Structure formats: C-alpha cells, structure tokens
Amino acid sequence: MGSTFSKAAALGISLLLLTSCSGNQARPVPSSAVTPTGTIRPDEPMLDTAAEEQQLLKFIDTQLTGPYGVYTNWQETGEAAEMATGHEILSESASLMMRAAVLNGDQERFDKQWTLARDTFDMEGGFSYRFSPKQQKQYTVNAAVDDLRLIGALYEAGQAFNQPEYTEAADKYGRRFYDNNVKDGYMYDFYDNIFKTTNGFVTLCYIDLSVLRKLSIPSELSGILLNNMSGILEDGYLSDSFPFYETRFDYKTGQYSSEHINTVESLLTILHLAESNRQKPASIRYIKEQVASGTLYGQYTRDGQRTNDIRSTAIYALTAMIGAVLRDQSLYAASIERMNEFRAVNAASPLYGGFGDEAAGQAYSFDNLMALLAYSYSNQQQ
C-alpha cells in the first residue's frame, strides 16, 4: 500500500480533513426530517438496547463492511475526492469498532478488527488515517485522535481479555505516537510519514487525556505532556452561558480559533474531560436540557446561536457516552432514545437496523459506529 503524496497536499489535509473529530464524513439530516419515536422521560432508567445493537451490528457486518474494514459510506464512489467517500476505509472506523468489541467483551471480533487495522493502516510513523481500496492508496498522514483511540483500545483489550500482547502493542505504538506526534511536550494533530513533519496546531477534541495518561513514556515526560494538554483543553472553555469549547489551539500564535463551534467536536472534548473527571457542571446541565428537548443542533456561533437545524445520530451517541461515563442513567436513556429516532426501521430497506437517510441511500460510518459505541457504553452502567 503505497502512494505519492506532496507536502502541500499533506498540509491541506491537516486543515480540510484532520481538524474534525468526526472525520468529516458524517452527513446528518435536518431535524424537520426526523419523526420522534416517543416522549423523552429524563428520569426513566437506562434503556435495554440489546436488540437494537444486534440489528446495527448485522447492518454493519453485512452492508457496511468490505475486505479492508468498514466503509465510509454505504454508497460507492470513485474514491478520488479530497475527503474520504464511498467504500474508502478510515482508521477512525477501525478504532471505534475495536473499542466497541472490548466494551462488549467480544475478543474474537476485537482480534479480527485489530489484525485488519494493523494490516491496512500501519506505517512507519503512525497509522494512516485513510485507505482507498480502488486506488490502492494508503494516505501518508495519521490523525492523532484515531491513533490514540487505537492505542487506548489495545490497552483496554489487554486488561479486559488478560492478554499481555495487546498491552505490549499499546506500549509500542504509544511510544511511536509520542516520538512523532508530540514535540517539546505538546501534541499535534498529524504526522506526515513521508516528510517527517507535523502541523502547527492541535484540535481540542483530539486531546484524549485518558489515553495520553497511559502512554509508556518516562513519568517526567508524561507529567509535562498531561499538564500542557489538559491546560489547553480546559482553557478552551467558551463560557457558562454557552458551555462548549474552542476548536483548535495554534502553537505559533498562542491563540484559540473557531470559525464555528461544531457540536460533535465540543461533545467529544467534553467526553474526554468527563473521562478524567474534569467536566464543567455547566456543560452537563446544558447537554441534559438540550437532549431532553431534542434541540441539540450541529453547529453554533461562539456565543451559542445555532447556525443550522441539523441534528445527527453522532450528536446523541456522544451525549449518551457522556451520560454513561458520569453514570447518569437519565442522560444516557434520554440520549439513546433521541439517537434511535434516526434508525432505519423499515425491514425491507437495505439500511434496516442502521442509521442513515433511506431516501438518499446514505449511511455513514461515523454515525453508525458512534451509535454502536453508545450502545456498548451501556456496559459501564451495569
């Protein structure tokens, strides 16, 4: 799997593709196109999602997966666009599948996913963020958020399945990540495997503190890295009135920047903070209010004014995960019920059991795998 990839193209990818924690492939639908399946009752106990999870897994396995892994989109394309499309494969997808397998205690599925991910994405300097089967092209940059999720899944698998080889692999790839994606105690979004360079900023939703803490590096270096990155993460908080987070931090200027506030990105930032017990109470209150009313939209201005009426599977999947991490069963249950509004429930549809737009024939990996992970997080509530 080789390719020719210019430095300019690599830098373009850093700005166009790797500045979104959603991989830029999810295409949510307007809320006006969604028919609610029921009334949210925030005080109800956690939902039983076993049946929906099995239907979703069947859809992913039979309709959304090929020889190299999970397709970016159910519909095929020529796989030549700047952004991943069609049956291209993302390391993001592999990492989400691995995490779900660990949470479900499915070692056989984890083994299969890890072997496939390693064979498809592993490079000298990191895990390629994207592979095109049609072009037989392995892109030469990684995405820090996905490398960290892969490494974190290996650590989790080592513990869950009592398999030291997973932990050893996590240590190995964690050291590589530190060597390439960390400079002078600061983490960067991507590393170019050809030009041996990084970009100049960090996207806040890439900062997975729980995995950074596990990296097999000297304690002094670990302390510096965690102090630097947790500071950048927490200082990116916007305000108590709109308790989301800035998009990126530029190391050269020392400034945050956000053209708009993408909800998926801020929710992933809040999830990472919650995993380290650093979440802002105002953020959780805001999320619970918006989930209960079904008014959590895809994008906002920096002062909290929504810029569209789009809702998505991934948004409510993330709020469900936040609820699970915080052991807030009401938030988890309300989020899952909102998320399930986007399920394909027509048994005659090829998208049945999955999440997508049946009329347009669109089903994206990010939405479906985030939903799968949200179902899997119910195990944290047991």
What share of the chain in percent tops pLDDT 70? 87
Nearby residues of 47 by Cβ (< 8 Å), 6 or more positions away: 332, 333, 336, 337, 378
pTM: 0.90
The candidate with the shortest Cα–Cα distance to 26, out of 378, 356, 291, 374, is 356
Residue 45's pLDDT is what? 52
Tokens matching residue 134: 């049609």
**Is pLDDT of 361 > 70?**
yes
Query: Regarding predicted confidence, which is higher, 198 or 33?
Result: 198
| Per-residue pLDDT reduced to its tens digit, 5-56 | 333 343 344 444 444 575 544 333 333 333 232 333 444 455 678 999 999 9
Average pLDDT over residues 241-245: 98
CB 328 within 8 A of CB 316: no
Residue 362 burial by Cβ neighbours in a 10 Å radius (0-12, 13-18, 19+):
middle
CA distance 30 to 227: 40
CB 28 within 8 A of CB 263: no
| CA 128 to chain CA centroid, nearest Å | 16
Nearby residues of 218 by Cβ (< 8 Å), 6 or more positions away: none
CB 187 within 8 A of CB 202: yes
The candidate with the shortest Cα–Cα distance to 181, out of 148, 137, 216, 222, is 148
> Which amino acid is located at 149 in the chain?
R
Domains of the chain: 71-199 (1.50.10.10)
CB 378 within 8 A of CB 340: no
**End-to-end alpha carbon distance in the chain:** 43
| Per-residue pLDDT reduced to its tens digit, 56-74 | 999 999 999 999 999 999 9
